[in-house]
Structure formats: C-alpha cells, structure tokens
Amino acid sequence: MTTMGDGSQSKARPMSDKAYETLRDAIVSCELAPGTWIKAAELSESLGLGRTPTMQALQRLEAAGFARPVKRKGWQVTPMTLQNVHDILEAFELTAPSLVVLIIRNATDEQIATFAELVTASSPADRSASALSPDLMKAAPIRYLVQMCGNPVMTEMTLPLATHVERVFRFGLLHDNFLDRVHVRWRSAFLEALAARDEKRAREALLKVIHVGAAELHRILQGAESIRSVPLNVERAS
C-alpha cells in the first residue's frame, strides 16, 4: 500500500503543476481577467483533473499572488489596483539595472537576438483587435529577460516579479495602445545598447522604457473597468 500511495503522489504532483501553469498563463495573458470568479469544481472538470491537484494549483496561485479564496464565493483572480500596479513597476524599476549588468556579462548573442524578436513580436505596430492573437498575448519577453541573466539565484528571485509585470503590460495592451513614439524609441535604444553590450546606455534606456510605460499604463488603467482603485473588501475563506 505504501508503494501505491507513493506512486499516486508522484502522479498527482505533475498534474497539479500542469494545472498551475495553465491557470497562471491564462491569468498573465488576461484570458482570465482580473476579478474573474473561479469555481474549483467546474475548474476541476474543465481541466480533467481531480479535486486534489486542482486545489493544489489554486493554492499555489494564491501564494504567487494571482488568485485568492473568498468565503462563500469560491476563488477569484486577483483584481488589479492602481497601488498594486505602482508597487509592481516600482520593484521592477529597482531590479532592472542589476538584471542588465548580468545579461551583458552572461547572455549569449543568440539569447539577446531572441529577446529582441520576442519584444518586437509582443508589441506589434498593428494594434487592431485582430492583431492581439492568443499566441501574442502569451509571449513572455520580460520573463525571458530574467531567465537569460545567467544567475540562477537572481532568476529565482525575480521571475515571480517579472510574471506580474507581464500581466500588467498585457492588461494595458488589451485596453489601449501605450506604445507611443517615445516608448518605441527608448525600447529600440535599449535593444541596440544590449546588442552592443553597452551597460550604461542599456541601463538608462531600460529605465526610460519603464518610466514611459508606467505613465501610460497608469492613464489606461484608471479608466479600465476591471481595475479597482482600492482592494475589494471581502471576507477571506478560512
């Protein structure tokens, strides 16, 4: 019986991983919008999983800040607040210069070229609704930026933050075009400096990208229906 139990646990773990990754990607791409309600039973059925791996996935999402249990209502995709968006981008602004230093030291030319392709693909010039394909919305240039720094400790520490930044930017893209000429100019300057391995210029350009993007995102998110200016006052499930 012990052997059967161990085997059952080893199978449950990968299933919960798959459920977690599927839900996280849907939340980050805003396929599951901020504030969306999730019923564990319906989710379990749609994923074709049992209750245990489904609940494990939801609990991991809660720990990562992407979902929360609400008493008598089920689970909710964490709503965005203007304060929360500010905190995420402020933390990324403080982290970004150190990432640039590590990338210039450790990333290969191929990785830098791939990152440039991801950035360009995820921010198309054509901003029509048809341009925002599911594949585009699931592109993850910011997470790739973190992963190519070549320092596993830095990657582990900053990847959760990068995932939240990705979600914020995807939400902004769904509601308006914040990629104005100034933003695109600094983005191009950052990519050029990165390719040239010019640490000083790359740091300066990336900070400009963050500043300009943050200002535009704040404008967009103030008018978005899915965002809350203050957190909802809900009773958490025990």
Helices 199-222 and 181-195, packing angle to 10 deg: 150
State residue 195's pLDDT score: 96
pTM (whole model) above 0.75: yes
Token pair listed for 141: 């240039």
64 closest CA partner among 209, 163, 150:
163
- Return the half-sphere exposure (C-beta side, CA atoms, 13 A cut-off) of residue 161: 20
Tokens for 229? 């200016």
CA 46 to CA 97: how far, in whole Å? Answer: 42
Q: Are 70 and 78 in contact (CB under 8 A)?
A: no
pLDDT of 73: 85
pLDDT in tens, 206-223: 999 999 888 888 887 777
